[in-house]
């Protein structure tokens, strides 16, 4: 009776598992997005202070925040005076509505192996800056239009020009996040031709 030698081949380790650190980082970004949505009143109050300072600069007038939640901005010729203008920062007008989807998208990307960690954070940084900048420009335009043309100017910039501008800015931010995070992969180098192939 002949005996056969048995060989045991070690199975290669699977490389499809996602590092725990990346999963944790992704969940933190998603949790941060949820936190901002829950705490959007405090976010809007802080944002209103930044916008008030910006409006005071671009309109060359005084500006301050007020209201029960601190999200109402009044500005005019030397606040307070009887002829001031007011802008309320609602949830739909706030940058929080732009920031949270980007945080969620970046969080999901972190949990996908094909996206590099550094590229995801770089893309998120660029996307956040661009989207918030576009919203600040929108508010500056609203303030200038309100001061120059009253409610007619406010309605045109707020409902049309400014809204389209922010939507385009957010779309660009979203695409930039994906583009930067995905990066460009270098094509595999072709093996050198042998002398026999020459």
Identify the pLDDT of residue 142.
92
Reply yes or no on whether the pLDDT at 12 is more than 80: no
Identify the pLDDT of residue 195.
46
Identify the pLDDT of residue 67.
87
**Would residue 15 count as lying in a domain?**
no
Q: Please answer whether residues 89 and 43 qualify as being in contact, where contact means their C-beta atoms are separated by less than 8 angstroms.
A: no
**Would residue 177 count as lying in a domain?**
yes
Q: Is 136 exposed, middle or buried (0-12, 13-18, 19+ CB in 10 A)?
A: middle
Reported confidence tier of residue 194, pLDDT bands at 50, 70, 90: very low
One-character DSSP codes across 11-72: PPPP--SPPHHHHHHHHHHHHHHHHHHHTHHHHHHHHHHHHHHHHHHHHTSEEEEESTTS-E
Residues 143-151: contacts with CB within 8 Å, 24+ apart? Answer: 143/55, 143/58, 143/59, 143/75, 143/85, 143/87, 144/58, 144/59, 146/85, 146/87, 147/59, 147/61, 147/85
Identify the pLDDT of residue 160.
93
| pLDDT tens digits for range 24-42 | 999 999 999 999 999 999 9
Identify the pLDDT of residue 61.
82
How far apart are alpha carbons 148 and 46 in whole angstroms? 26
**Would residue 36 count as lying in a domain?**
yes
| Owning domain of residue 44 | 20-183
Q: Domain tally for the chain?
A: 1
**Would residue 189 count as lying in a domain?**
no
How far apart are alpha carbons 161 and 10 in whole angstroms? 64
What is the pTM (predicted TM-score) of this model? 0.81
Identify the pLDDT of residue 60.
83
| pLDDT tens digits for range 156-170 | 999 999 999 999 999
How far apart are alpha carbons 170 and 51 in whole angstroms? 19
How far apart are alpha carbons 169 and 54 in whole angstroms? 19
| pLDDT tens digits for range 61-107 | 888 898 888 889 888 755 555 567 888 999 999 999 999 999 999 99
Write out the two tokens for 104. Answer: 């969620």
Query: By three-state DSSP, how is residue 139 classified?
Result: helix
Identify the pLDDT of residue 49.
94
**Would residue 198 count as lying in a domain?**
no
**Would residue 4 count as lying in a domain?**
no
| pLDDT tens digits for range 96-144 | 999 999 999 999 999 998 899 999 999 999 999 999 999 999 999 998 9
Reply yes or no on whether the pLDDT at 196 is more than 50: no
**Would residue 120 count as lying in a domain?**
yes
**Would residue 194 count as lying in a domain?**
no
Identify the pLDDT of residue 16.
63
Q: State the chain's mean pLDDT as an integer.
A: 85
């Amino acid at each position: 009776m002949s005996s056969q030698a048995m060989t045991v081949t070690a199975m290669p380790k699977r490389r499809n598992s996602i590092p725990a650190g990346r999963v944790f980082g992704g969940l933190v970004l998603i949790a941060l997005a949820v936190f901002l949505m829950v705490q959007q009143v405090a976010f809007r109050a802080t944002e209103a202070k930044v916008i008030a300072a910006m409006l005071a600069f671009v309109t060359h007038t005084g500006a301050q925040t007020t209201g029960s939640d601190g999200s109402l901005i009044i500005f005019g010729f030397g606040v307070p005076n009887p002829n001031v203008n007011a802008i309320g920062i609602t949830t739909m007008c706030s940058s929080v509505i732009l920031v949270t989807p980007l945080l969620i998208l970046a969080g999901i990307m972190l949990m996908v192996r094909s996206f590099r960690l550094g590229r995801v954070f770089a893309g998120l940084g660029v996307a956040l800056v661009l989207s918030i900048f576009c919203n600040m420009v929108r508010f500056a335009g609203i303030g200038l239009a309100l001061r120059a043309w009253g409610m007619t100017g406010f309605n045109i910039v707020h409902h049309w020009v400014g809204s389209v501008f922010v939507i385009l800015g957010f779309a660009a931010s979203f695409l930039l996040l994906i583009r930067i995070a995905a990066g460009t992969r270098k094509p595999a180098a072709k093996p050198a031709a042998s002398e026999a192939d020459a």
